[in-house]
Structure 1
Amino acid sequence: MLIQSVITAANGMASLTTPPSPAPGSDGLRPGLTAEQVTPGFLGFAMTAFMVIGVVLLMVSMTRRIRRVRYRAQVTISREASEQRPPDEGQEGPAGADVSQPGTPRPPT
């Protein structure tokens, strides 16, 4: 098992050391082609534009979602803080019947 793995790795390394075809010294084009004929063309431009537009739309969507989550967290924190706050002097608490405004006299008991 180990020997087979070593042989496979050696074959992979050997394939990486073979010289490329065509050789780097030549212009690298097939016979009959010029450098002007080998361009990405409209399809390459369209795919690049599609990718850029897609990434921009994903970024906008991600920003909206992050803001929404952050806002919901702030609302939850402020709601929890208001529930934990002791009641004001004019109020007896959430279950109490007296909800008079601060500064107004309380009826005698």
Structure 2
Amino acid sequence: MIAAAVPFLVGAEEEEFDPDLVTPGVVGFVATFLVMVVVVLLILDMVRRIRRVNYRAEVRQQLEVERLEAELAASDAGEADGPDATTATSEAEAAAASDDEDDTPPTR
């Protein structure tokens, strides 16, 4: 079997190819161009989605800060140095930590 393949291998080594005949042509160019267009569109979509996630995180953080400030102001107004102020702050921090862990994607 190997002996039968040897003449074909030797003949293939002796042949010299013409680089003008070994080109991808128009079909190869079109295929490469389409792949490039798809990759660019995917990158644009990814950047848009990352930007949207960052904006949502900023808004969520800002709302959480405002909520904590409101709770702190309410606890300061109710009892100046009571033990409930510390408890409210620690409960608010625990709620903020649990919100960060719940990072589910939005439904459409």
TM-score, normalization: structure 1?
A: 0.51
CA distance in 2, matches of 1:22, 1:51: 35
Which of 22, 25, 29 is matched with 2:13 structurally? 25
Cα distance, 1:48 vs. partner?
Answer: 0.3
Cα pair distance change 1:46/1:22, threshold 3 Å:
farther
Q: Per-residue deviation at 1:26?
A: 2.7
Secondary structure, counterpart of 1:39 in structure 2? coil
Q: Aligned partners of 1:53 and 1:28: how far apart in 2? A: 36
Q: Which has the higher helix share?
A: 2
Larger radius of gyration: 1
Matched residue type, 2:14: S
% identity of equivalent residues: 34
Aligned runs of 1:24-103 on 2, under 5 Å? 25-27=13-15, 34-85=18-69, 86-87=72-73
Q: Name the TM-score, length of structure 2 as normaliser.
A: 0.52
* 5+ residue gaps, structure 1: 1-17, 93-109
2:94 aligned partner: none
How far apart in 2 are the matches of 1:48 and 1:37? 19
Q: 1:28 Cα shift?
A: 6.2
**Higher relative contact order structure (alpha carbons within 8 Å, sequence separation ≥ 6):** 2
Q: How many residues align?
A: 68
Distance in 2 between residues matched to 1:28 and 1:51, nearest whole Å: 32
| Distance in 2 separating the partners of 1:41 and 1:22 | 27
After superposition, the CA RMSD in angstroms is 2.7
Measured in 1, the distance between the counterparts of 2:43 and 2:65 equals 33
